[in-house]
Structures are given as structure tokens and as C-alpha cells.
A and B are shown apart, each in its own frame.
Chain A
Amino acid sequence: MDMLERKGVRLVVYLPMELDHHYTEEIRREVDQVIREEPICELEFDFSRTIFMDSAGIGMLLGRYKIMKALDGRLLMTHMRGQIKRILKLSGILNYIPLEQEEEVV
């Protein structure tokens, strides 16, 4: 599964269709390894394939947000659908990672 793509200092993570506890474990492992070993300043989570997310996804995003903050980098979330936005809003995570940072990547 080609989940990760390097674009210069940005690492793009193409999230799976269903972002639950089962999948977050694998994403966490793979993303953290790249962040540790490569000079990544921007971590982008691309939700274009994702139709489901629960609190496990929120936990994974918050954890990566903390890591990027510690590295003086930033976290972006792109291409979210309605259901995903609903969960993000309800979680309060948008207080840390505002929706303004949602952007199209050219």
C-alpha cells in the first residue's frame, strides 16, 4: 500500500478508507519512522479516500500534531468529507489544527 509520499520537506499520508484503531496502529508506526529519520517539516494527512473515522483517528492525529510541534513543523489536513469534518469539529481538535490550514496541494 503506497500510503506515504515524500514531497520535499513534506510527507503526505494518504489515509485509508476507514480510519479506526486497527489502521491507526500501522499509520503511526510508518509515519513516525519517516519523521524520525528524514528532515520532514510538514506532515499532511490526505483524507480524500477516507469515509469513516472514530476517536482512534483523533488520538493518532493529536499524537502526530504534538510530534510536529516539537519539531517546529506543522500538520495539515486536506480533502475531508462531511462525516470526517463532523468528527473533527466534535473532538475539539480544530482548536489546535484549524480548518484554515486545509489546502489544496498543487
Chain B
Amino acid sequence: MKNEMTLTFDSLSENEGFARVAVAAFVTQLNPTLEEVADIKTAVSEAVTNAIIHAYPGEVHTVVVRTRLDGETVELWVMDEGVGIEDVKKAMEPLYTSRPELERSGMGFMFMEAFMDQVEVLSKPLEGTTVYMKKKIQKGVTEQEA
């Protein structure tokens, strides 16, 4: 089965919950376990929060979340057209944050990588950032474990 949806919303923190819940609801078509749903919600929340906090300093613009289901695979793109990331490698280091004054833990990318099978970050200064994530839904794992 192939199915795709795209969310477009303002970069307001109120939309963090909306984005992860909408993606989670869409992904239930693949019959994921509760844990897999939680993993995807966390990963979406991290990527969307990053876009909302960092992409458009002091301004509100658009964040796009595209979700594609293909067979047992979930693919996600979290996209902004904001300031971009100068040094992606550094941004992805555990505990690194460019905004320590906001008490950011620097664990966002660590969680994305822990909960998804693949995480890629494409970013260009002043053009924006796309976080691509992929996860295979392990069908039948729960039945085998039970």
C-alpha cells in the first residue's frame, strides 16, 4: 500500500502537538505497535520543534511535514525555508545546542536517531533545512513476543 499526506502549518509552538498527533494518526494504517507510534511521535516532535525554534528567529513562517507510507515503511520529511544550519555535523552532536539560554537539552537528534532507522539532514544557510527520517514498521513482532 502507498499513501501520502502533507501538513503545512505556522512555526508556532502550539503546532508541535498537532503535527506529531496528525502523523501518528496517519501511520496507524500500517498497524504499528504502541511503542512504534511513540517512537514516531517523539521523532516528529523533535524535528518540528527544531524548525519552530531555530528556522525563523523572531518570525513566524511555514513548516511542512510530508509523510509517505510504502509497504511497511514510513518516510518523513520535516521542511522549513529558514536560516539553515551552518554545520550539520556539529548540530547533530549529542548535547550540542545553539541555544543554551533556552535550556535545550541538545538531545533532539539523538532521540530521532534512536527511534528511527535512518535520519538525514539536508541544510543550506539562508535556504532552509529538511530532516528526512525513515522507519520500518515491524509487523507481527508483538505476536511473536506474546
Q: Which residues of A contact B (CB under 8 A)?
A: 18, 20-22, 24-25, 28, 52, 54-56, 58-60, 62-63, 83, 86-87, 90-91
Interface residues of A, dominant DSSP? helix
Give the number of chain B interface residues (Cβ < 8 Å).
Answer: 24
Please name the residue on chain A nearest to B94 by beta carbon: A92
Task: Report which residue of A28, A56, A60, A86 has the largest number of chain B beta carbons within 10 angstroms of its beta carbon.
Answer: A56
| A87 to B114 Cα, complex, angstroms | 10
Q: Which residues of B contact A (CB under 8 A)?
A: 13-14, 16-17, 20, 35, 38, 41-42, 45-46, 49, 52-53, 102-108, 110-111, 114
Task: Report which residue of A54, A59, A91 has the largest number of chain B beta carbons within 10 angstroms of its beta carbon.
Answer: A54
Q: Is A55's CB under 8 angstroms from B16's CB?
A: no
Please pick, from A18, A20, A60, A91, the residue contacting B103 in the complex, using a CB distance under 8 A.
Answer: A60
* Residues of A close to B46: CB separation below 8 A: 54-55
Please name the residue on chain B nearest to A56 by beta carbon: B49
| A56 to B108 Cα, complex, angstroms | 8
| A88 to B132 Cα, complex, angstroms | 25
Please pick, from B13, B17, B20, B107, the residue contacting A25 in the complex, using a CB distance under 8 A.
Answer: B13
Q: Is A83's CB under 8 angstroms from B38's CB?
A: yes
A36 to chain B, nearest CB (A): 16
Q: Is B104's CB under 8 angstroms from A59's CB?
A: yes
Given contacts A21-B49, A54-B42, A87-B111, contact A59 B17 (CB under 8 A): no
| A87 to B10 Cα, complex, angstroms | 27
Given contacts A21-B53, A55-B108, A56-B105, contact A87 B13 (CB under 8 A): no
